[in-house]
Amino acid sequence: MSRQSFSGLSLLWRGLSRHAGWQKQWRKPEPKARYDAIIVGGGGHGLGAAYYLAKEHGLANIAVLEKGWIGGGNTGRNTTIIRSNYLFNESAALYDHSVKLWENLSQVLNYNVMFSPRGVMMLAHTVHDIQVIKRHVHANRCNGVDNEWLEPAQAKEFCPPLNIEENIRYPVLGAALQRRGGTARHDAVAWGYARAADALGVDIIENCEVTGIRRDAGGAVEGLDTTRGVIHSRKVGISAAGHTSVILALAGVQVPLESYPLQALVSEPVKPIFPCVVMSNTIHAYISQSDKGELVIGAGTDAYTSYTQRGALHINMHTLDAICELFPNFRRLRMMRNWGGIVDVTPDRSPIIAKTPVPGLYVNCGWGTGGFKATPGSAHVFAWTIARDEPHPINAPFTIERFRDGHLIDEAAAAAVAH
């Protein structure tokens, strides 16, 4: 179907005509009986995978099934941090692939995802932090990923609200800065991919929960039972974050995942005060300022596995303790909302983007606490994997079998990862 194009001129024109005549951004189709490929999960990763399947692999007949509404899971619940300064070669390739796609995503989708490469600064508070972070800086630069070491005064210059006094509980001893990192608008990512995928003929079907996976005599996937009826397809990609284990269990597939609550919170909106993203893994604080003016703050995961999309208050308090010490200006700010999402965590804190033992069933999961940054890259290589029935070179290491074979991509121990 033809699609209105967004531009400054079209915005001005519609504004002058009192915003009448805007089209719906995507259709609300009834599910067809059969598709060439189905993506389960209408978050950024799933919608993106459908978009790239249609755009780059020529599949015309694709559906995205979403249990609730698109972008209502972790895509709409995260702190929107984008960076690629991971330690290992495999991770650096995957996350930097994503950052490169972010850089042109608004133009490619004709939808403003508000990607803002304002710089991501990761703080060091101990001698060990300094050693680990400097190792990351050098490893990143060897992999062509920008990252630089800042002394405390330089960190303060880059982020003026930062407290670099030496008499605080965890003084800032330095920082790593990835200038290409930043933030994007989470909802716009889901909506932009949905709109672009819909324009290529992808059916986006909301309120459609998968209740069974149908398999033929040979064991291969032949369709899905859903709350909106049986839908046939020989290719099914699961992109369901915290509920991946539940859906894969329908086909008897087990993956090494545990689902944990991860919380975030926002302050009341204030004038622009915070120019970048600051993360501290040691004391669990992640902070940036949204374009609406709210400070967006991320905490660590809760201790226990859960599917409740809520967590304990003491986790947030722990994070706010750190924020108030690092940014004394914010001590009197009121927090407006907090919420939780359910993140699927692998033992090595790296994702799984792979074929499963069931022919025709593919999985993109295990993004844990840091999946938003990877949305375009993850979707891009997952679409490749589904279309060609073999992994893209970038996601080839991210198999399920790596846990059996010992080829872990152990970003957990590497500690540049926020979790």
Partner 1 sequence: MLLIVCPYCGKRPEIEFTYGGQAHLARPDQPSQLDDQAWAEFLYMRSNTKGVYAERWRHARGCGRFFNALRDTTSDHFLAFYKTGEPRPVLSTSPAPPAQSVAARTDAAASPVTERKI
Q: Catalog residues that contact partner 1 under the rule CB under 8 A.
A: 243, 245-246, 254, 256-259, 303-308, 310, 312-314, 347, 403-406
Token pair for 85: 């300064």
Q: Which is nearer to partner 1, 162 or 409 (CB)?
A: 409
Q: Are strands 221-226 and 285-289 parallel, antiparallel or unpaired?
A: unpaired
Least distance in angstroms from the C-beta of 315 to partner 1 = 9
CA distance 37 to 218: 19
Nearest CA among 93, 39, 80, 65 for reference residue 351? 93
Report the distance separating Cα 85 and Cα 140, nearest Å.
6
Taking the least distance from each CB to partner 1, the nearer of 25 and 305 is: 305
Closer residue to partner 1 (CB): 117 or 261 = 261
Residue 393 tokens read as: 């070179």
Q: Max CA-CA distance within the chain? A: 69
Tell me the closest approach of the beta carbon of residue 313 to partner 1, in angstroms: 6
Question: 418 CB contacts (<8 Å, ≥6 apart)?
Answer: 81, 279, 281, 286, 298, 369, 370
Q: How far apart are alpha carbons 152 and 59 in whole angstroms? A: 52
- 61 vs 136: CA distance, rounded Å: 43
DSSP strand pairing (236-238 vs 37-40): parallel
Shortest distance, position 360 Cβ to partner 1, whole Å: 22
Nearest to 95 by CA among 144, 50, 134, 135: 144
52-74 in b/e burial notation, b at 16+ Cβ within 10 A? bbbbeeebeebbbbbbeebbbbb
Q: Residue 117 or residue 366: which is nearer to partner 1 going by CB?
A: 366
**Shortest spacing between CB 123 and partner 1, in angstroms:** 25
Of 176, 178, 181, 89, nearest to 133 (Cα)?
176
Residue 303 Cβ, how far from partner 1 at the closest point, in Å?
Answer: 4
Min. distance of Cβ 358 from partner 1 in angstroms?
Answer: 16
Cβ distance 345 to 383 under 8 Å? Answer: no
Amino acid code (one letter) for 171 = P
Q: How far is the CB of 308 from partner 1 (least distance, A)?
A: 5
Radius of gyration for the chain, computed over Cα atoms and rounded to the nearest angstrom: 21
CA distance 388 to 278: 39
Q: Which is nearer to partner 1, 283 or 312 (CB)?
A: 312
Backbone angles phi, psi at 138, to 5 degrees: -70, -40
Residue closer to partner 1 by CB (options 80, 259) is 259
**Which amino acid is located at 244 in the chain?**
T
Pick between residue 90 and residue 294 the one whose CB is nearest to partner 1.
Answer: 90
CB of 304 to partner 1, least distance (A): 5
CB closer to partner 1, 315 vs 415? 315
Closest distance to partner 1 from the beta carbon of 414 (Å):
18
The smaller minimum CB distance to partner 1, of residues 13 and 304, is found at: 304
CB of 312 to partner 1, least distance (A): 4
Shorter beta-carbon distance to partner 1: residue 230 or 312:
312
At residue 259's C-alpha, the angle toward residues 257 and 260, to 5°, is 135
